[in-house]
Amino acid sequence: MPDDLPRPEPFTQRTDPAALEDLRARLRATRWPDRPEDAGWSLGTDLDYLRDLVAYWADGFDWPAREAELARLPRYRVRLGGLGIHFVHAKAAAPAGTALPLVLSHGWPDSFWRYTKVVDLLTDPGAHGADPADAFDVIVPDAPGFGYSDRPAGEPLNSPQVAGLWAQLMDVLGHPRFGAAGGDIGSHVSRYLALDHPDRVVAVHRTDAGIPVHTGDPAELTASERAWFDEVAAWSAAEGAYAAIHRTKPQTAAVGLNDSPAGLAAWIVEKMRAWSDCGGDVERAFTRDEILTNVTLYWLTGTIGSSMRMYRANSLIPPAQLARRVEVPSGFSIFAGDVVRPPRAWMERTANAVRITEPERGGHFAAFEQPELYAEELRAFFRPYREAAR
């Protein structure tokens, strides 16, 4: 590593027991709201479900055990752009120099947690019944303001700025060329890695095409694209209140969510249920321990406010930036249970889409919901581009 580059330091988190006692005390003292009879999930998080979840969180959930599981991943911190960045860097089981470096970018409401189930599948495919030649060196950073990365003290970073940090991170790790993949905000970040660093990104894989922006004549759009725009508008009207708050008044919500763990769980779990391929039962997609690992990461790091502020930063990206076409070879895996699923015409309009698949299982958190299927999607897509990274 050149002397002028920052050096990553190993990272292990051990939570102060006093922080867990404070969490349990807050959970047990939750001041529950009233609700209309038989409201269920129709007005937001179901109160009966949340009561049960909070009771388990307070008296049954074993965070030290979950923390120990996360500690099995090789994790580091490094200073980039004035911020401490936390990341997983898991090297392939394949001989050195033969694996494809791959940076995986998460979204909201999650962190590096999104990819914890696929790291071993990607670094050591031979141990999981796949071709050892498909191994990756896997890098999973926490975006600034998420997880164990620092929170920006001033203006939040937008997706192009985070993509710039990830390009620096790959320099630090000695990867001049690499693949990029992501979903949700991570899809946006991966897109800008390909747009702004096309000489370095050999190919980019995404599980969505983002919220559509078209700056040209609407008459140019196909019927399927126009129908999709209408679908996205309808979804935003019915389901997008959270995003409007994140874009406009995130600090107002952050006061309550950062103070009440039950409120934080309600905010996050409702999205985990609505966006996953669970048929209305969130615990068909995630166990209670998995749900609470994600939520507890937010609670202990105090990052719900800073994570929401990234929506505001992204809302200020100029339309001309949003309309740029990705010319780097692009793959899309549009999982059947995800929300606002784009038509092929839109993906081909906005990117050099060389591979588009529609897996039958999995939703917005596909890497966590269906890790084996997601890993196979990545192996198949990146296979033709491995030599380009060497």
pLDDT at 3: 61
Q: How far is CA 205 from the centre of its chain?
A: 13
For residue 146, tell me if it sits in a domain.
yes
pLDDT at 388: 80
Catalytic residue among 184, 208, 277, 338: 184
pLDDT at 390: 78
pLDDT higher than 80, residue 96: no
- The number of residues in the chain equals 390
**Residue 122 Cα distances to 15, 72, 130, 301, 367, angstroms:** 29, 16, 10, 28, 11
For residue 54, tell me if it sits in a domain.
no
The CATH number of the domain where 78 resides is what? Answer: 3.40.50.1820
pLDDT at 302: 98
For residue 19, tell me if it sits in a domain.
no
pLDDT at 343: 97
Q: Judge whether 184 counts as a catalytic residue.
A: yes
Question: What confidence category does residue 2 fall into, taking pLDDT thresholds of 50, 70 and 90?
Answer: low
Specify the residue for token string 């800073």: 306
Asked whether 151 and 85 are in contact (CB, 8 A), the reply is no
Give residue-wise pLDDT tens across range 7-34: 999 999 999 999 999 999 999 999 999 9
pLDDT, average across residues 218-236? 94
Asked whether 75 and 86 are in contact (CB, 8 A), the reply is yes
pLDDT higher than 90, residue 98: no
pLDDT higher than 70, residue 1: no
pLDDT, average across residues 167-186? 97
Give residue-wise pLDDT tens across range 260-283: 999 999 999 999 999 999 999 999
pLDDT, average across residues 188-207? 98
For residue 310, tell me if it sits in a domain.
yes
pLDDT at 97: 74
Give residue-wise pLDDT tens across range 332-352: 999 999 998 999 999 999 999
Instruction: Indicate the number of domains in the chain.
Output: 1
pLDDT higher than 70, residue 144: yes
pLDDT at 193: 98
Q: Judge whether 385 counts as a catalytic residue.
A: no
Catalytic residue among 311, 338, 374, 385: 311
For residue 186, tell me if it sits in a domain.
yes
For residue 363, tell me if it sits in a domain.
yes
What percent of the chain has pLDDT above 70? Answer: 99
For residue 270, tell me if it sits in a domain.
yes
For residue 29, tell me if it sits in a domain.
no
Per the structure, the complete domain to which residue 300 belongs is given by 74-389
